[in-house]
Chains A and B, each alone.
Chain A
Amino acid sequence: AQSVTQLDSQVPVFEEAPVELRCNYSSSVSVYLFWYVQYPNQGLQLLLKYLSGSTLVKGINGFEAEFNKSQTSFHLRKPSVHISDTAEYFCAVSDPQGGSEKLVFGKGTKLTVNP
């Protein structure tokens, strides 16, 4: 079964600094990968997704992620964060060969952007 590891439970950064949120998944077979953001007291919003093709994926709000098959990683990056990026970020994986579209989530990384 698929599993997702988000290596950092909390990441504090200063405004305008770069940030990287790390995500590793368990399987080297073909997978779909996602990053979601959850603002306080809200649902989940899709930031970006990797299905196939270019390994560098650009998403909303200036975020991007790079798929690395050999390292089974899908790290999320932003070159300059804002206070408004403070939220919980979830990495998720889906197995397109498995016949279901269900997602397996990592435990989440709480990003706190300080002034």
Chain B
Amino acid sequence: SAVISQKPSRDICQRGTSLTIQCQVDSQVTMMFWYRQQPGQSLTLIATANQGSEATYESGFVIDKFPISRPNLTFSTLTVSNMSPEDSSIYLCSVGGGSLPGNYGYTFGSGTRLTVV
């Protein structure tokens, strides 16, 4: 399975600023996903990022708040813009297994623990 490097691992940011989170995969993948895990909660999908096309956002998430880049098949970034304390969460990237059924099953990065003060 793929190995994902996500950084930063944690950050404390001032409200009103932006933070860009990077996700690097050790192999080429078609789909990359960004999830949010609010304190004490489960994971919620923010968006799906395919290389060469605009990211697809889930209900309740918008591009102006969470712009995503996907410049190639091994890298993606998520920016949390104009942050408020409500954005304090763990943000995780993950990759799908591809079209082969045996490979299906996500790998997750170790997450970015964001605290907005």
A residues sitting closer than 8 Å to B (CB atoms) are 32, 34, 36, 41-46, 49, 51-52, 90, 94, 96, 100-108
Contacts and interface: CB of A to CB of B under 8 A. Distances in A.
A34 B106 contact: yes
Interface string B45-72: 1001000000000000000000000000
Contacts of A49: 104-105
B52 to A, nearest CB: 16
B110 interface: yes
Interface residues of B, number: 25
A60 to B, nearest CB: 12
A102 B48 contact: yes
Given A43-B109, A43-B111, A44-B108, A103 B45 contact: yes
Contact of B96 (A44, A46, A101, A108): A101
A52 B101 contact: yes
B104 A90 contact: no
B18 interface: no
B101 A43 contact: no
A44 B97 contact: no
B104 A101 contact: yes
Contact of A34 (B6, B44, B105): B105
Given A42-B110, A44-B92, A51 B45 contact: no
B13 interface: no
